[in-house]
A and B are shown apart, each in its own frame.
Chain A
Amino acid sequence: MRTVSAPSRLVLGDEGFDFCPGCGYGSVLLALGEVVRELNRPVVFIIDIGCVDFMTAHLPGDVMMGPHGRASVLAAGYKRVNPDATVCAIQGDGAFAGIGATETLHTAARGEPITVIVLNNGVLADTGGQMAPTTTAGQVTTTTPAGRTAEFGTAVAFLEMIAGLPGVTYAERVAISSAPRIRRVHRALSAAFDVQQAGGGLSVVEVVSPCPTHWRQEPAAAWEQVRELTGSSYPVGVVADRRAAERRR
Chain B
Amino acid sequence: MRFGTGNRAVVDAALAAGCKLFAGYPVTPATEILEAAASEFPRHGRVFVPAEGEMAAISLVGGGSLGGYRCMTATSGLGLSLMAEGLSFYSGMTELPGVIVVQQRWGPGDGSLGPGQDCYQQATRGVGHGDLSLIVLAPKSVQELADHVGLAFELADRHHMFVLVLGDQIVAMTSEQYRVGEPAEPVRRVTGFGRGDRVILPELVAVDEKAGDFDALEAVARRWEAKYRQVRSQEQRAEYTGPAGGCDLLVVAQGSLARVAECALPELSRLWPGASLFRPVTLWPFPADALGEAASRARHVVVAELSMGQMHADVAAALAGRSPHGREVGLVNWLGGRSPTPSQFAQRVAECVAGSSRETSRAGAR
Binding site for B on A (CB under 8 A): 18, 41-44, 46, 53, 56-57, 59-67, 70, 73-82, 85, 102-103, 105-106, 110
Report the stretch among B55-63, B133-141, B228-236, B344-352 that lies at the interface: B55-63
Query: Are the CB atoms of B68 and A73 closer together than 8 Å?
Result: no
**The residue from B20, B63, B200 contacting A74, defined by CB atoms under 8 A apart:** B63
From known contacts A18-B210, A81-B69, infer whether A63 and B200 are also in contact, taking CB-CB under 8 Å: yes
B209: interface (CB < 8 Å): yes
Tell whether B219 is near chain A: CB-to-CB under 8 Å: no
Q: How far is the CA of A82 from the CA of B191 in the complex (A)?
A: 13
CB distance from B19 to the nearest CB of A (A): 11
The reply to whether A77 and B197 contact each other, CB–CB distance below 8 Å, is no
A46 — which chain B residues lie within 8 A by C-beta? 63
Q: Which of B65-114 contact A (CB under 8 A)?
A: 65-69, 71, 85-86, 88-90, 94
The answer to the question of B195 belonging to the interface, with a C-beta cut-off of 8 Å to chain A, is yes
Q: How far is the CA of A43 from the CA of B85 in the complex (A)?
A: 26
B354 at interface, CB cutoff 8 A = no
Is A81 a contact of B194 with CB atoms below 8 Å? Answer: no
> Once the chains bind, are B66 and A77 in contact (CB under 8 Å)?
yes
B195 near A77 with CB under 8 A, answer no
CB distance from B319 to the nearest CB of A (A): 39
Alpha-carbon distance A59/B198, docked complex (angstroms): 8
Point out the residues of chain A lying under 8 angstroms from B3, CB to CB: none
In the complex, whether B320 has a CB less than 8 A from a CB of chain A is no
Give the distance to chain B from A15, nearest Cβ to Cβ, in Å. Answer: 9
Name the residue on B nearest A107 (C-beta). Answer: B56
* Nearest opposing residue in chain A for B47, CB measure: A80
User: A44 is contacted by which of B21, B65, B85, B194 (Cβ under 8 Å)?
Assistant: B194
Give which listed residue, B21, B88, B94, contacts A77 with CB less than 8 A: B21
Contacts of A65 on B, CB cut-off 8 Å? 201-202, 205
B71: chain A residues within 8 A (beta carbon):
77, 81
Give residues of chain B (1-38) contacting chain A, Cβ–Cβ below 8 Å: 20-21, 23
B69–A62 touching, CB < 8 Å: no
Distance in angstroms between the alpha carbons of A76 and B201 in the assembled complex: 17
Residue pairs across A and B with Cβ atoms less than 8 A apart, 6 shown, are A66-B59, A67-B85, A67-B88, A67-B89, A76-B60, A77-B64
Q: Which of A18, A57, A60, A82 contacts B68 (CB 8 A)?
A: A82
- What's the minimum C-beta distance from B239 to chain A, rounded to whole angstroms? 36
**Residue from A56, A64, A102 whose CB has the most chain B CB atoms within 10 Å:** A64
Q: How far is the CB of A142 from chain B (nearest CB, A)?
A: 20
On whether the beta carbons of B60 and A80 are closer than 8 Å, the reply is: yes
Measured between beta carbons, the chain A residues less than 8 angstroms from B68 are 81-82
Kindly state the separation between the CA atoms of A193 and B68 in the bound complex, as whole angstroms: 23
Q: Determine whether the beta carbon of A102 is less than 8 Å from that of B89.
A: no
Chain A residues closer than 8 Å to B205, beta-carbon distance:
53, 56, 65
**A80 adjacent to B56 (CB under 8 Å):** no
Q: Which residues of A contact B67 (CB under 8 A)?
A: 77-82, 85
Taking the closest CB of chain B, its distance from the CB of A110, in whole angstroms, is: 8
A57 to B195, CA, bound (A): 16
Closest Cβ–Cβ distance, residue B100 to chain A (whole Å):
14
Q: How far is the CA of A85 from the CA of B61 in the complex (A)?
A: 17
Q: Is the CB of B209 within 8 A of A73?
A: no
Q: Which of B53, B55, B63 neighbours the largest number of chain A CB atoms within 10 Å of its CB?
A: B63
Bound Cα distance A122, B59 (Å): 26
- Residue contact B21 to A70, C-beta cutoff 8 Å: no
Most buried by A among B64, B85, B88, B210: B64
Residue of B nearest to A68 (CB): B85
Within 37-58 of B, Cβ neighbours of A (below 8 Å) are at 47, 49, 51-53, 55-56
Q: Kindly list the 10 A-B residue pairs having the minimum CB-CB distance in the complex, ordered from nearest.
A: A77-B63, A42-B196, A77-B60, A106-B52, A81-B67, A78-B63, A64-B201, A70-B59, A73-B59, A62-B199
Taking CB atoms, residues of chain B closer than 8 Å to A60 are 198
- Which residue from B59, B197, B199 sits with its C-beta under 8 Å from A103? B59
What is the bound-complex CA distance between A74 and B51, given in angstroms? 12
